[in-house]
Amino acid sequence: MGTVLKGGNVVELEPAIVERVDLRIDGDRIVARAPEIQPEPGDEVVALSGKLVFPGLVSAHHRLHMSLGRGMPEPALESYQEALEQVRWRYEAALDLDAVQVAATAGGLEALQCGTTTVFDLHSSPKAILGSLTRVARGLHEVGVRGALSYAVTDRSGAVGREEGLEETVSFTQKAKGRFRGRVGAGQSFTLGADALEGLKEALARTGAGLHVPLAEDPLDEKLSVERHGAPPVSRLMEAGLLSPKSLVAHAGHLSWAELAQVISTGAWLVHTPRSNQRLEVGYAPALKFGARATLGADGLSADLFAEAQAAYLRSREAGQPINVLRYLANGHRLVSQVFDLQVGPLREGALADLLILDYLPATPLTSENLAWHVVYGLGSRHVEGVMVDGTWRMWARRPLSVNPMVVADQAREAAAAVWARMAGR
């Protein structure tokens, strides 16, 4: 039995297309696209009456474990280093495996409700490393969201923590399947010694996966990397041979043009995180210069990629360097297609059925030529009515179908209270 979506305005991002056509979905794939599709016996028929059919969105750099940190007490902070040492790293050290899974469920549910169907998660829980990525996957599985997961390997907790991080990321990558894939993750460059870089290189060779690494989020990354390891971050990553077309490089806000050119030359994906940059007051990355393989991520904030795209475009315009926001969103689909070895994004025959139903009723004409302006100035997560992942409805009429939001929220508040108490030493 298949599903026929009738009478919708089907959207594609690059090249921009808005077309009134029907889609037929069978299993996890789109199997037909035409102006008029006749349902087969047993098909579910969904009359859309002009609603938008939009590709599922992608957060290419995410931190699901931060879902339990929203609103937690924070000291007055004067620098990025204080934000790391006094808040983020203390918070991560307070996570246990149960909190990790609850955070993934809560963050995954929020992603689903915002129309984000895939997250590339960079996880960290230094007191609960082994088994943590499996718990993240379980949390996302409850909701139905797709995930490419990695553990952030670092020397912050010493050699044992580093080796457990490497073991965790390799083990998960070798067994991940279905809606999940593994990546090789890394912490900030200044937290990576020579042994960590060598371990990451070996992990990449063993898994065939790509590196997921935050880079130059703040000038502190270069300062401490030079002080502690004798070279700036890009030089160290390049010399270790860690960057490739499979790599995800997040932030990249404080690189010289020569360094940025080096990163781009490796074919790595560059992930722009404008709302996170603004939250931490670390400055705005030169997103227009990120090249052809640039996309968006929400980092530790809600996985609202409509909000992220709008922030990215408006801030880039304010800086006098406006980006192509549709390309940034479409590159998220290209990244997922590469990692999962499936066609994702274009709503065409053979593509994976990851899509959204949006009840957006524009007050002005919506065409291929002005789609970008509707994305920037009109569309939002408030319009997400239905979400399909892998050909299965995961949300309909704004109601998640596999979890109870009230139960998820209750569990998350309880887990958050326990994490905050551990942070305070209680």
Question: What pLDDT, on a 0 to 100 scale, did the predictor assign at position 66?
Answer: 97
Q: Tell me what the mean pLDDT of segment 353-365 comes to.
A: 96
Give residue 63's identity as a one-letter amino acid code: R
Contact indicator for 325, 376 with CB cutoff of 8 Å: yes
pLDDT higher than threshold 90 for residue 380? yes
Extract the tokens encoding 338: 């590469």
The yes-or-no verdict on residue 284 having pLDDT over 90 is no
CATH numbers and ranges of domains, the chain: 3-55+347-398 (2.30.40.10), 57-339 (3.20.20.140)
pTM higher than 0.85 for the full model? yes
User: For 183-193, how does the pLDDT look when each residue is reduced to its tens digit (9 = 90+)?
Assistant: 999 999 999 99
Segment 384-407 shows an average pLDDT of 98
Is residue 426 pLDDT above 70, yes or no? Answer: no
* Whole-number average pLDDT of the chain: 96
Q: Specify the DSSP class assigned to residue 299.
A: B
Judge whether residue 36 has pLDDT over 90. Answer: yes
22-34, pLDDT tens digit by residue? 999 999 999 999 9
Nearest CA to 104 out of 149, 64, 71 is that of 64
CB atoms within 10 A of CB 180: 20
pLDDT exceeds cutoff 90 at 134 = yes
- What is the pLDDT, as a whole number, of residue 59? 98
User: How large is the average pLDDT for residues 115-132?
Assistant: 98
Amino acid at 328: Y
How distant is the alpha carbon of residue 300 from its chain centre?
Answer: 10
Percent of the chain with pLDDT over 70: 100
Query: What is the helix (H) or strand (E) element at residue 381, kind and residue range?
Result: none
pLDDT of res. 75 = 83
pLDDT given at position 76: 81
Residue 355 phi, psi dihedral angles, 5° rounding = -155, 165
Residue 18 predicted with pLDDT over 80: yes
